[in-house]
Homo-oligomer: A and B are copies of this chain.
């Protein structure tokens, strides 16, 4: 056991998977000698050499496109995109090829690729360094989408992602990269992709969130003094709808919290499914606390954009009072 930040837990997962599987290599901008702009790949270049830790040219489509080829060729590439705002140039290679190769070839060629991407707001970064595009990749069949909210889950999920035979977009909530530490086993373990985690049990209401927002949910729940069940999705696609539905059947009320804009966010899918599966159980409409339907503002206003304990608390009261 070690007391690690989220960055350190991911770094450890990378080292351990590279140690135990030759096919794993890391590529991306500044991931080599510099150890990545968030230092997530710190020490890897020294340990494994430039052959396995590759500073790529500044070209996201190139990173993902060659990684698709590497994966089709039998390796297990872990590509880093420096910020979620720079996934855009790689969108086409991800959605047109990584997501489609297995079904296109009816299993003949597959893409066991992991794409690591820092995500989300709250660190006073420049434009395009604070977005939350998880719904975009969830709407694209053929991908898996993961977003841990703790060091323990981050390590276990990243190991699962690297070993997964299909492409996984692994979003790392940068706001909590170093926000807190947690006991993380040094031994090998995995957290399965596709299983939500009940962070705390409760009977009055269900709250669903993921990534950095989970912390705000906890704070809001504590401030409310209510008996609320909090679910951290951990994996966004495939959605562990059973855990959510079981909870809402019990509590009859639900609030969903995420950073991305409201419209067509993951919250809309969750809300629709909860209604479809728990129609007769629901005592109040499912509420969504999300980013507004605006471009994530520059940092002077970012905290006014992001859901916080205050807004979540309002949703709790509104939902309870309905």
Contact of A199 with B by CB under 8 A:
no
| A124-144 Cβ-contact flags toward B at 8 Å (1 or 0) | 000110000001101101100
| A292-304 Cβ-contact flags toward B at 8 Å (1 or 0) | 0111000000000
Asked if residues A139 and B128 are in contact (CB atoms below 8 Å), the reply is no
Contact of A239 with B by CB under 8 A:
yes
CB contact under 8 A between A295 and B261, given known A88-B96, A276-B285, A285-B276: no
Asked if residues A142 and B295 are in contact (CB atoms below 8 Å), the reply is yes
Contact of A162 with B by CB under 8 A:
no
Q: How far is the CA of A71 from the CA of B294 in the complex (A)?
A: 21
| Chain B residue with the shortest CB-CB distance to A271 | B272
Interface hit among A98-106, A113-121, A204-212: A98-106
Q: How far is the CA of A288 from the CA of B57 in the complex (A)?
A: 44
Shortest A21–chain B CB gap in Å is 28
Contact of A148 with B by CB under 8 A:
no
| Chain B residue with the shortest CB-CB distance to A96 | B88
Residue in B88, B142, B260, B285 whose CB lies within 8 Å of A279: B285
Set of chain B residues within 8 Å of A96, measured between Cβ atoms: 85, 88, 128
Set of chain B residues within 8 Å of A135, measured between Cβ atoms: 139, 264
Contact of A92 with B by CB under 8 A:
yes
Q: How far is the CA of A257 from the CA of B199 in the complex (A)?
A: 36
Contact of A267 with B by CB under 8 A:
yes
Contact of A89 with B by CB under 8 A:
yes
Asked if residues B271 and A264 are in contact (CB atoms below 8 Å), the reply is no
Contact of A269 with B by CB under 8 A:
yes
| A63-91 Cβ-contact flags toward B at 8 Å (1 or 0) | 00000000000000000000001001101
Contact of A34 with B by CB under 8 A:
no
Set of chain B residues within 8 Å of A85, measured between Cβ atoms: 96
Set of chain B residues within 8 Å of A88, measured between Cβ atoms: 91-92, 95-96
Contact of A32 with B by CB under 8 A:
no
Asked if residues A260 and B139 are in contact (CB atoms below 8 Å), the reply is yes
Set of chain B residues within 8 Å of A261, measured between Cβ atoms: 139, 141
Shortest A252–chain B CB gap in Å is 12
Shortest A18–chain B CB gap in Å is 30
Asked if residues A285 and B275 are in contact (CB atoms below 8 Å), the reply is yes
Asked if residues B272 and A141 are in contact (CB atoms below 8 Å), the reply is no
Of the candidates A136, A263, A284, A287, the one having the most CB atoms from chain B within 10 angstroms of its own CB is A263
Asked if residues B276 and A272 are in contact (CB atoms below 8 Å), the reply is no
Of the candidates A136, A139, A276, the one having the most CB atoms from chain B within 10 angstroms of its own CB is A139
Contact of A312 with B by CB under 8 A:
no
| Chain B residue with the shortest CB-CB distance to A291 | B141
| Chain B residue with the shortest CB-CB distance to A292 | B141
Asked if residues B100 and A138 are in contact (CB atoms below 8 Å), the reply is no
Nearest 6 A-B pairs (CB), nearest first?
A88-B92, A271-B272, A139-B264, A279-B285, A91-B91, A268-B268
Give 7 pairs: A residue, B residue, CB < 8 Å, sorted on A: A88-B95, A139-B263, A141-B295, A239-B263, A268-B271, A275-B286, A279-B282
